[in-house]
């Protein structure tokens, strides 16, 4: 798609956006540093899973919530473990069926390769929306 020429006011708008995006990135990083500093100061023994509460001066309380964040490190090993659990009988099969949440994810590259007949079938089950645009300001020169 060819680039179009736009009035100079759009350069100002683009620069404002770029500055805000940079400020947001810096603010997010600063917020995380300050959050970790605050947690370290209020909970020197460390945090436990769940809600941690610190009583502060002036009637303030700080709550720090720690949630489990499980991740699969190896799909093949996980599938083997699920198979072994299932082999333990009815209770094992029940646990195996409920333990892992398999989330379907559409691979857009594969979707683009579908012929019209296949696309008509799958498109009844999915919706492809546009994401928010990513914006990069390319400076002249």
pTM of the model: 0.65
Burial of 42 (C-beta count, 10 Å sphere; 0-12/13-18/19+):
middle
User: 65 φ, ψ to 5°?
Assistant: -105, 130
Give the rounded percent of residues in the chain with a pLDDT score beyond 90: 76
DSSP H/E element including 113:
helix 108-113
Q: How far is 127 from 15, CA to CA, in rounded Å?
A: 34
Is residue 57 a part of any domain in this protein?
yes
Domain boundary residue, one of 68, 102, 117: 68
Does 62 share its domain with 75?
no
Residues 62, 17 share a domain: yes
Q: How far, CA to CA in Å, does 57 sit from each of 6, 38, 42, 60, 62?
A: 55, 14, 12, 6, 10
Residue pLDDT, tens place only, 28-85:
999 999 999 999 999 999 999 999 999 999 999 999 999 998 999 999 999 999 999 9
What is the structure's pLDDT at 32?
95
Q: Among residues 53, 68, 83, which one ends one of the domains? A: 68
For the ranges 59-73, 107-121, 124-138, the lowest mean pLDDT is seen at: 124-138
pLDDT of 8 reads: 84
In a domain, 42, yes or no: yes
The beta strand positions in the chain, using DSSP E, are 50-55, 61-66
Do 60 and 106 fall within a single domain? no
Report the candidate in 34, 59, 56, 38 with the shortest Cα–Cα distance to residue 47. Answer: 38
């Amino acid at each position: 798609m060819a680039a179009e020429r736009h009035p100079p006011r759009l350069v100002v708008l683009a620069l404002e956006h770029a500055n805000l995006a940079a400020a947001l990135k810096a603010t997010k990083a600063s917020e995380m540093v300050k959050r970790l500093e605050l947690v370290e100061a209020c909970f020197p023994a460390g945090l436990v899973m769940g809600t941690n509460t610190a009583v502060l001066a002036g009637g303030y309380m700080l709550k720090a919530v720690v949630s489990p964040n499980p991740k699969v490190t190896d799909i093949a090993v996980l599938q083997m473990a699920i198979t072994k659990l299932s082999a333990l009988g009815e209770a094992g099969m029940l646990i195996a069926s409920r333990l892992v949440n398999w989330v379907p994810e559409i691979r857009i590259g594969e979707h683009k390769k579908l012929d019209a007949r296949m696309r008509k079938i799958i498109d009844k089950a999915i919706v492809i929306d546009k994401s928010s645009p990513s914006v990069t300001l390319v400076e002249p020169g």
